[in-house]
Amino acid sequence: MYSCSDHKSCLSDALYVADKICQKKGLRFTPLRKIILEMIWSNHEPSKAYDILDKLKDVNLSAKPPTVYRTLDFLLENGLIHKLNSLNAYIGCSHPLEHSECFFLFCQECKEIKECCNKELAKAINQTASNNKFQPMNVTLEIQGECQECTDKARL
């Protein structure tokens, strides 16, 4: 679906921005944090915690679940990745710090995920919450379905 023209630059951009953000916030972008972010950005598919752990064991034999979950927490807290609750999986944020009104389209066929932003939609969500006298703090919007490419392929 997402067919980025040059995924190497997706990856290097993400790492560059993460580094900048950590500098700015006075956070430490340690080798562990960097390698896990790198793994998550290895493609545009969601990453599962224990898959990350398995990969991590290739470079760090003694890696264990807390190693991964703590790092995921760090990356989540600082907006560098998102958690996809309906998949129990994680994906790199495609524009850290810019804003938080993001949602996700994920294709059940090709597994790719697209992070989308839409002010109108964000407004509609806030409006609805407000109609219900509700103060939103954390919004999960995950849309599963099929992308155009996969729909086209299926028709052939």
Partner DNA sequence: TTTTATTATGTTATAATATAACATTTAAAG
Partner DNA sequence: CTTTAAATGTTATATTATAACATAATAAAA
The secondary structure of residue 119, as a DSSP letter, is: H
Using rule CB under 7 A, residue 49 touches DNA: yes
Nearer to its own copies, 52 or 105 (CB): 105
- The pair of structure tokens assigned to 88 is 């129990």
Which of 5, 8, 58, 62 contacts DNA by CB under 7 A? 62
How many Å apart are CA 108 and CA 1, to the nearest integer? 11
Count CA within 13 A, CB hemisphere, residue 147: 16
| Choices 9-17, 59-67, 109-117, 128-136 (CB under 7 A): range interacting with DNA | 59-67
Using rule CB under 8 A, residue 100 touches its own copies: no
Instruction: Reduce the DSSP state of residue 105 to 3 states and report it.
Output: strand
Which of 21, 27, 97, 110 contacts DNA by CB under 7 A? 27
Using rule CB under 7 A, residue 25 touches DNA: no
49-59 and 65-77 helices, crossing angle to 10°: 110
Residues 127-156 binding DNA (CB under 7 A) are none
Length in residues, the chain: 156
Residues 101-130 binding its own copies (CB under 8 A) are 103, 105, 107-108, 114, 116, 118, 120-121, 124-125, 128-129
Least distance from C-beta 34 to DNA, angstroms? 9
Using rule CB under 7 A, residue 76 touches DNA: no
Strand partners, 103: 116
The secondary structure of residue 48, as a DSSP letter, is: -
